[in-house]
Structure 1
Amino acid sequence: MEYSRWKIYMLVVVGLMSIFSAEICFADTDHRDILAINSLYAALGYPPLPGWLVSGGDPCAEGWQGVQCVNSNITGIILNGANLGGELGENLGAFVSIIQMDLSANNLSGPLPSSMANLPSLTTLHLQDNHLTGLLDVLQDLPLIAL
């Protein structure tokens, strides 16, 4: 009788471990990236971009237009020619692992936010054909390969 209780106990434990480990394997988008992309969306004036949400959401799992991910991190935002307006916003530096950003031909205005200096993984930045102002000094310490 003792052996069968132990066997049932082990099956329950293994089952629970399987459920929880499966959840870990399919992690949601990093919460810092969600806050950063929600903030960017607001600064852009909530343009009609398929999948994008005003608050929350899961850009990596839900396949938001132009959002590229590796595991649970947003690594790229490619929205060239998406007819964007508004500004870049001050929370761009909150992205955890962004490598490339292409917001060219989008009618953006305003200065480059100082928070861009906090993007140590950014190697590609395309912002041409916009109406941005200010100095490029916020980009001087970034490892940009393409600007």
Structure 2
Amino acid sequence: MRNTLFVLVLLSAVLVSSCNNTYIEGKIVDGFGKPVPEATVNVEGTDFVSQTNGKGHYRITYVPGDVHVVVSKEGFANSSFTTSILKEMRVDAGPTILYEIPPAEEVFLMHKGRYVELRKGVLHSSKQDVSDSWHYREQYVYSVTYNPEDITAIQKTEEDVV
């Protein structure tokens, strides 16, 4: 009787451990390459959810099939990717970038791990038709006009810190 019970417990443990061999893992970083802790990683349309650790790493167990993964964190723009998981497969999603939402609706320069406001920057946008005979497409073009003194001020600030 003891041997039968032992075999059943052992068999159950093997079955449970084999069910957890299918997962997606990766790292969430910001636009500057720094880890994003406590970001939520979710397989869309399911209850499969994970959170990143202090180094931005996550692992989310899932069943085989096509999945759409959504990454989110308050103060950041959401990011997502789609992948296919085969039977008992580990998917290394690699790094996923979350871009922090700037603190105001102004023009910013990304400089040495932070946003720097271009005080007199002006954002220009235009739409261009880039259709060909088979496809209709529009392309948006963005450009920024800024005060060169802002860039000089950033460089001086960096020199003062060193």
Instruction: Give the structure-1-normalised TM-score.
Output: 0.32
Structure number, greater radius of gyration? 2
Larger fraction in helix: 1
Larger fraction in strand: 2
Instruction: Give the structure-2-normalised TM-score.
Output: 0.30
